[in-house]
């Protein structure tokens, strides 16, 4: 089969790789329906994370079950399945507590920009749809496997509820999905920090009520102006930079909550400042598996369409162009079709 391999920053190649095989009785192998490039794939691509030796890339996938190990009883070949970037047995104590992305047997997926993928702990990780969904639904279901699940977690962690005011920091795919999540959870006011016109339009289509283009101190000032001088009850940090985290913490009101779901890079939080702010802080890799049945249902009943975050579609063999387009901000998120 063929798949994407990173050799060095800026160097993604589409290569022939070994076909994935069942290695453990709990594995499955799926044939990829669609996959994509994640904002977090850009960290090694830009050299912000070490690449090491050449290795496959990708952690987002939906596909068709091709083969299952002897211990996998809930899945059969041909089924359409949605998973998560973190595998989970869905039976251990952390899974039962709803934190499947901290499963005691967790593995992070990293080979998904390929024609076939081995899925460890398939029975706990994968959710099969009742029927094969229409092709036009695939991008939205793919979004559910990562960015939509992560946006939902941001809203959960920031305690968005009916009537609440939410600030979303970040207008990438996760930030835009966080807008969908805040809306679905009943937020009355959704303020999105964005400087890109096309992303502002999509944020509004997803339910944003206000856009703030300012950043830094001016951005914080503007949020305060819009929230009665005190800040918002819920702030969804969807970037992972020091600037975004500072923006988020200073946009929350005393007693408010910040959900941070952007993978932190050089983020430090001052203990004294946090102590006196009365702001709650929770983040981490999204427990996507917890949300899958509900989010799949919202997509299939056409309540939400997070597939709209994909603004570039390429054949999988042009995966390198997907990275380039996202790196140069010509695309929010690139969809790849095998
Ligand atoms: Zn577990």
Distances 126 to 62, 71, 79, 83, 184 between C-alpha atoms, Å: 9, 14, 10, 5, 24
Averaged pLDDT, 313-324: 98
Please count the other Cβ atoms lying within 10 Å of the Cβ belonging to residue 108: 11
**CB-CB contact of 288 with 153 (8 Å):** yes
Residue 180: pLDDT above 90?
Answer: yes
**Per-residue confidence (pLDDT) for residue 19, from 0 to 100:** 97
Phi, psi of 316 (to 5 degrees): -50, -35
Lowest mean pLDDT among 30-34, 264-268, 278-282: 264-268
Residue 310: pLDDT above 90?
Answer: yes
* Ligand 1 mean position, distance from CA 84 (Å): 13
Residue pLDDT, tens place only, 146-166: 999 999 999 999 999 999 999
Measured at the alpha carbon of residue 38, what is the angle toward residues 91 and 314, in degrees to the nearest 5? 120
Distances 280 to 59, 250, 258, 277, 283 between C-alpha atoms, Å: 30, 12, 6, 9, 10
* 7 token code pair: 């050799």
Residue pLDDT, tens place only, 206-221: 999 999 999 999 999 9
* 143 token code pair: 């979004």
* Ligand 1 mean position, distance from CA 50 (Å): 29
Averaged pLDDT, 58-76: 98
pLDDT band at 51 (very low <50, low <70, confident <90, very high): very high
**Per-residue confidence (pLDDT) for residue 49, from 0 to 100:** 87
Averaged pLDDT, 318-338: 96
* Ligand 1 mean position, distance from CA 94 (Å): 6
CA distance 78 to 159: 38
* Ligand 1 mean position, distance from CA 141 (Å): 23
**Per-residue confidence (pLDDT) for residue 271, from 0 to 100:** 95
Residue 5: pLDDT above 90?
Answer: yes
pTM of the complete model: 0.96
**Per-residue confidence (pLDDT) for residue 35, from 0 to 100:** 98
List the alpha helices (DSSP H) in the chain. 42-45, 93-96, 122-125, 138-144, 147-157, 173-184, 197-206, 216-226, 242-251, 271-277, 288-300, 319-327
Averaged pLDDT, 16-26: 98
Q: Which H helix or E strand runs over 30? A: strand 28-36
* Ligand 1 mean position, distance from CA 87 (Å): 8
Residue pLDDT, tens place only, 242-260: 999 999 999 999 999 999 9
3-state DSSP assignment of residue 117 = strand
Residue pLDDT, tens place only, 77-89: 999 999 999 999 9
Instruction: Please provide the average confidence, as pLDDT, over all residues in the chain.
Output: 97
* Ligand 1 mean position, distance from CA 26 (Å): 13
* 261 token code pair: 């779901």
* Ligand 1 mean position, distance from CA 86 (Å): 10
Phi, psi of 32 (to 5 degrees): -65, 130
Residue 171: pLDDT above 90?
Answer: yes
pLDDT band at 48 (very low <50, low <70, confident <90, very high): confident
**Per-residue confidence (pLDDT) for residue 122, from 0 to 100:** 98
* Ligand 1 mean position, distance from CA 284 (Å): 16
* Ligand 1 mean position, distance from CA 89 (Å): 4
69: Cβ contacts below 8 Å, ≥ 6 apart: 22, 24, 25, 26, 27, 28, 122
3: Cβ contacts below 8 Å, ≥ 6 apart: 14, 15, 17, 56, 58, 111, 113, 114, 115, 316
Query: Domains in the chain and their CATH numbers?
Result: 2-146+287-337 (3.90.180.10), 150-283 (3.40.50.720)
Please count the other Cβ atoms lying within 10 Å of the Cβ belonging to residue 2: 16
Residue 281: pLDDT above 90?
Answer: yes
Residue 7: pLDDT above 90?
Answer: yes
Averaged pLDDT, 166-195: 97
**Per-residue confidence (pLDDT) for residue 278, from 0 to 100:** 98
């Amino acid at each position: 089969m063929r798949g994407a391999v990173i050799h060095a920053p800026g160097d993604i190649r589409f290569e022939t790789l070994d076909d994935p095989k069942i290695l453990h009785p709990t594995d499955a192998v799926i044939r990829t329906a669609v996959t994509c490039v994640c904002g977090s794939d850009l960290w090694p691509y830009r050299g912000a994370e070490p690449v090491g030796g050449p290795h496959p890339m990708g952690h987002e996938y939906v596909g068709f079950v091709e083969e299952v190990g002897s211990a996998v009883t809930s899945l059969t070949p041909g089924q359409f399945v949605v998973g998560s970037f973190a595998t989970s047995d869905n039976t251990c104590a952390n899974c039962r507590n709803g934190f499947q992305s901290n499963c005691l047997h967790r593995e992070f997926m990293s080979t998904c920009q390929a024609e076939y993928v081995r899925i460890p702990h398939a029975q706990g990780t994968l959710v099969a749809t009742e029927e094969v969904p229409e092709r036009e639904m695939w991008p939205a279901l793919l979004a559910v496997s990562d960015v939509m699940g992560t946006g939902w977690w941001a809203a959960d962690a920031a305690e968005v509820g009916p009537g609440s005011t939410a600030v979303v920091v970040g207008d990438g795919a996760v930030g835009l999905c966080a807008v969908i999540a805040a809306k679905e959870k009943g937020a009355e006011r959704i303020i999105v920090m964005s400087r890109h016109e096309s992303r502002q339009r999509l944020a509004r289509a997803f339910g944003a009520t206000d856009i703030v283009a300012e950043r830094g101190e001016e951005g914080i000032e503007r949020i305060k102006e819009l929230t009665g001088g005190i800040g918002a009850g819920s702030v969804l940090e969807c970037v992972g930079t020091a600037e975004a985290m500072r923006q988020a913490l200073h946009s929350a009101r005393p007693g408010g909550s910040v959900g941070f779901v952007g993978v932190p890079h050089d983020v430090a939080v001052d203990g004294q400042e946090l102590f006196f702010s009365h702001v709650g802080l929770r983040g981490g890799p999204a427990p996507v598996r917890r949300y899958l049945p509900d989010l799949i249902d919202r997509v299939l009943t056409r309540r939400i369409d997070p597939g709209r975050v994909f603004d570039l579609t390429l054949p999988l063999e042009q995966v390198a162009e997907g990275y380039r387009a996202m790196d140069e901000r010509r695309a929010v998120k690139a969809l790849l079709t095998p």
